[in-house]
C-alpha cells in the first residue's frame, strides 16, 4: 500500500544529500544552533506544515495531521555539532573553524526533513499524526531532550522512534536491541591540592602527580574488582593535567573521566567506591581534594514491542535492508529521556563507508549518504507498523 511513499523518499535522495551537505558546511555547537534551527523552521514553513520554535531552547517540533483516525507518533532527529577541526578533504567540508558535524547529526536532520517533504502528498492517507522532533544539544549534557520534553514536546505523543546513522555498522544493516541499547554516561572531575616545591627536595612536598598516578591505578580496580562481573560498566580517565616545569613538583593535578553503566545500583556503587578510594589516597598523602560527579544521560532502554517493530519490519521499508539484534553499546544518547516518558525504540542505521572507516567524533568522520533514505524509510515504517499494531 505504501510502496509509492517509499518510492517518493528515494526520489528525495538528492535533496537529502544537498541538505546534509549544507548543514555540514555550517555546523553549530550545542545550545548555539540558532541558524540551524532557523533553517529547519524555514523548511516547514515552505512545506506548509505546522511547527513550533524554541521548544526547550533551540528545538523545533512540527506536526502533520493525518486524514484517518490513529495514534500520534513522534520521530526525532538531533542537529548540533562538535568542537572538532575537520580534516576531511571534501567539497562540503565545514566552513567554521573548530566546529564539525562529526557524529552524523547533519544526516539525521536531512533524513527527517526529506521524509517530511516526501510524506506530505500522502497526508490524507496517514492515520493519526506525525510529530517531527528536531532536537538541539544532544552532544552536551544536560542536553536538549529533557528540556524539550519539559516544554511539552511529547504531551500529545503515544510513541516515539529515533535512529542514529552509525558509521561502524555495515551499509544496509539496521541494528537495535529489545532492552538496554546504549549506556548511561556520567562525568567526573577530581582536583588534587598537594604542596609543590623544588624537584630536588621531594621530602618537603606533597606531590600531586604521584597522588594522581596512584588514583589512576586504583580507580581502574573499581570495575574489575568491585563490580559484579555480570554487570556491565566502564570507568575511563580521559584527562590528567599537572605540572609546568621539569624541575618543579606540582602542587595541583586534575583528572577528568567518565563512568558508563546500565543499572542505577551499579552507578551508585561505583560512585561510592570512587569516593572511598579518592578520600583514602589523598588523606594518606596529606593532600586535599575536590571530587565532582555529574550524573549525565540515563541508559537508552528500548521498549520490547517497539523494538520488535524495527527488527521485524525494516525490510518492508526497503527489501535491501537486513536487521539484527545487537549487544548494548557503551556510547550514550539523550534519546533515553524520551523512552522514560513514552513507549518507543532507538536504532542504528548502518552507514559505513567501505574505504573511509573513521569512528564517530573523529576529525575525519564521514558516513555513506546512501543511508539517508534508509533512515527516513525505516522511521516512517516504524510509524506505520505502530499504527497497525495499536489501532
* C-beta atoms surrounding 38 within 10 Å: 13
The residues with which 233 forms a beta bridge, in sequence order, are 261
* Cβ 208 vs Cβ 227: under 8 Å: no
* Angstrom distance (rounded) from CA 344 to CA 154: 12
Q: How far is CA 387 from CA 62, 66, 318, in A?
A: 19, 12, 19
Task: Tell me which residue has cell 532502554.
Answer: 301
Question: What is the DSSP track for 282-344?
Answer: HHHTT-EEEEEEEEEEPPEE--HHHHHHHHHHHHHH-TT-EEEE-PPBS---TTHHHHHHS-E
Question: What is the DSSP track for 354-367?
Answer: TT----TT-TT---
What's the DSSP call for residue 149? Answer: H
Name the grid cell of 218.
Answer: 586504583
* Cβ 253 vs Cβ 223: under 8 Å: no
- Crossing angle of helices 371-390 and 3-11, in 10° steps, is 150
The residues with which 184 forms a beta bridge, in sequence order, are 261
Which position among 28, 33, 78, 80 bears the catalytic label? 80
What's the DSSP call for residue 124? Answer: G
Name the grid cell of 170.
Answer: 555495515
* Angstrom distance (rounded) from CA 30 to CA 234: 25
65 classed as catalytic = no
* Angstrom distance (rounded) from CA 175 to CA 361: 20
80 classed as catalytic = yes
Task: Tell me which residue has cell 562538535.
Answer: 82
Which position among 138, 207, 251, 306 bears the catalytic label? 138
Q: Output b/e per residue, 250-260; b: 16+ Cβ within 10 A.
A: bbbbebbbbbb
Could you give the residue numbers annotated as active site? 80, 138
Amino acid at each position: 500500500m505504501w510502496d509509492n511513499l517509499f518510492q517518493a523518499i528515494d526520489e528525495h535522495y538528492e535533496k537529502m544529500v544537498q541538505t546534509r551537505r549544507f548543514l555540514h558546511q555550517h555546523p553549530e555547537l550545542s545550545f548555539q544552533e540558532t541558524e540551524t534551527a532557523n533553517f529547519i523552521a524555514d523548511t516547514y514553513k515552505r512545506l506548509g506544515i505546522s511547527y513550533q520554535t524554541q521548544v526547550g531552547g533551540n528545538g523545533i517540533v512540527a506536526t502533520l495531521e493525518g486524514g484517518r483516525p490513529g495514534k500520534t507518533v513522534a520521530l526525532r532527529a538531533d542537529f548540533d555539532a562538535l568542537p572538532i577541526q575537520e580534516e576531511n578533504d571534501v567539497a562540503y567540508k565545514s566552513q567554521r573553524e573548530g566546529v564539525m558535524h562529526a557524529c552524523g547529526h547533519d544526516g539525521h536532520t536531512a533524513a527527517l526533513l526529506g521524509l517530511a517533504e516526501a510524506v506530505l502528498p500522502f497526508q490524507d492517507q496517514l492515520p493519526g499524526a506525525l510529530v517531527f522532533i528536531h532536537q538541539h544539544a544532544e552532544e552536551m549534557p544536560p542536553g536538549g531532550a529533557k528540556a524539550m520534553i519539559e516544554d511539552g514536546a511529547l504531551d500529545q505523543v503515544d510513541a516515539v522512534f529515533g535512529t542514529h546513522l552509525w558509521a561502524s555498522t555495515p551499509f544496509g544493516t539496521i541494528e537495535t536491541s529489545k532492552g538496554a541499547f546504549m549506556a548511561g554516561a556520567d562525568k567526573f572531575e577530581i582536583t588534587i591540592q598537594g604542596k609543590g616545591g623544588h624537584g630536588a627536595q621531594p621530602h618537603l612536598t606533597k606531590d600531586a602527580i604521584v597522588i594522581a598516578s596512584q588514583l589512576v591505578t586504583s580507580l581502574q580496580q573499581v570495575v574489575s574488582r568491585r563490580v559484579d562481573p555480570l554487570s556491565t560498566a566502564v570507568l575511563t580517565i580521559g584527562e590528567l593535567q599537572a605540572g609546568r616545569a621539569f624541575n618543579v613538583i606540582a602542587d595541583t593535578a586534575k583528572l577528568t573521566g567518565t563512568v558508563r553503566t546500565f543499572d542505577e545500583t551499579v552507578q551508585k556503587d561505583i560512585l561510592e567506591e570512587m569516593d572511598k578510594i579518592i578520600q583514602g589516597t589523598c588523606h594518606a598523602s596529606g593532600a586535599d581534594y575536590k571530587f565532582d560527579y555529574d550524573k549525565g544521560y540515563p541508559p537508552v532502554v528500548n521498549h520490547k514491542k517497539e523494538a520488535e517493530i524495527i527488527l521485524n519490519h525494516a525490510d518492508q521499508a526497503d527489501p535491501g535492508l537486513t536487521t539484527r539484534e545487537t549487544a548494548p553499546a557503551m556510547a550514550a544518547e539523550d534519546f533515553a529521556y524520551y523512552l522514560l516518558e513514552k513507549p518507543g525504540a532507538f536504532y542504528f542505521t548502518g552507514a559505513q563507508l567501505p574505504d573511509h572507516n573513521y569512528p564517530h567524533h573523529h576529525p575525519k568522520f564521514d558516513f555513506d549518504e546512501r543511508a539517508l533514505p534508509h533512515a527516513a524509510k525505516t522511521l516512517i515504517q516504524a510509524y506505520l507498523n505502530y499504527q497497525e499494531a495499536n489501532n
